[in-house]
A and B are shown apart, each in its own frame.
Chain A
Amino acid sequence: QQQVKQSPQSLIVQKGGISIINCAYENTAFDYFPWYQQFPGKGPALLIAIRPDVSEKKEGRFTISFNKSAKQFSLHIMDSQPGDSATYFCAATISSNTGKLIFGQGTTLQVKP
């Protein structure tokens, strides 16, 4: 029940295209859902996050869509650029249980020029 399932494992997108990564969770107590971006040799960097009281959050080219009833959330990268090539992780946590993020397995995104 603590798992977060992420798909696809890898993704190849043409420059200018839309990248979509999906995550699903079981624990309905989760109330904070961040996405992290990780480049080789670096630690994960917080990209964008959402709470279940909203269905969508947009920051620049990055959008999170959240479906509470389906217990799913997804990251959309619009106008994907080669510089977006990285590994993306979704995560979930219970706010009162701070510090304990449950991560998905990660998606390696390659954006071709």
Chain B
Amino acid sequence: KAGVTQTPRYLIKTRGQQVTLSCSPISGHRSVSWYQQTPGQGLQFLFEYFSETQRNKGNFPGRFSGRQFSNSRSEMNVSTLELGDSALYLCASSPEGRTEAFFGQGTRLTVV
């Protein structure tokens, strides 16, 4: 079974731009969560989607948004990028009714 796939692996963007990251969950997993990982703040929960609905949200500004499609694939968008948004963005998928979360390799976003 293929794991969680995130694209692209690396991105460099300029302050003020927007960016869209993509996540394909493990086949059959309908829950997708997003996390931001930085050296200073560690791993922080952004949001979770299940059946195309946002089920949970972390404490991030409205510039961070996401969505999920009917095939469970998910995208997250960050608008008006700031230097502090430079981070590794991780996507995790979970089987329905189970708590285990399986992570992808992440997208490394650098804002210059």
B31 in the interface (beta carbon within 8 A) = yes
Q: CB distance B105 to A42 under 8 Å?
A: yes
Closest residue on chain B to residue A106 by CB atoms? B42
Closest residue on chain B to residue A45 by CB atoms? B103
Which residues of chain B are within 8 angstroms of A52 by Cβ–Cβ distance? none
* Interface size, A (range): 20 to 34
Q: CB distance A101 to B55 under 8 Å?
A: no
A60 in the interface (beta carbon within 8 A) = no
What is the count of residue pairs linking A and B with beta-carbon distances less than 8 angstroms?
A: 68
Which residues of chain A are within 8 angstroms of B100 by Cβ–Cβ distance? 34, 46, 49
B90 in the interface (beta carbon within 8 A) = yes
Which residues of chain A are within 8 angstroms of B32 by Cβ–Cβ distance? 99
Which residues of chain A are within 8 angstroms of B50 by Cβ–Cβ distance? 98-99
Q: CB distance A103 to B43 under 8 Å?
A: yes
The listed residue (B6, B44, B103) touching A44 by CB distance below 8 A is B103
Q: CB distance A93 to B43 under 8 Å?
A: no
Q: Could you tell me the distance in whole angstroms from the C-beta of B62 to the nearest C-beta in chain A?
A: 18
B72 in the interface (beta carbon within 8 A) = no
Closest residue on chain B to residue A105 by CB atoms? B42
Given the interface pairs A103-B42, A105-B42, the reply to whether A46 lies near B104 with Cβ below 8 Å is: no
**For the complex, what is the distance from the CA of A42 to the CA of B43, rounded to whole Å?**
14
Which residues of chain B are within 8 angstroms of A28 by Cβ–Cβ distance? none
A43 in the interface (beta carbon within 8 A) = yes
Closest residue on chain B to residue A6 by CB atoms? B42
Sample 6 A-B pairs with CB under 8 A, ordered by A number: A36-B103, A44-B43, A99-B33, A100-B56, A104-B42, A106-B43
Q: What are the 7 A-B residue pairs with the smallest beta carbon separation, nearest first?
A: A99-B48, A43-B103, A103-B43, A99-B33, A32-B99, A43-B105, A100-B56
B interface list, Cβ under 8 A from A: 4, 6, 31-33, 35, 42-45, 48, 50, 55-56, 58, 90, 92, 94, 99-106
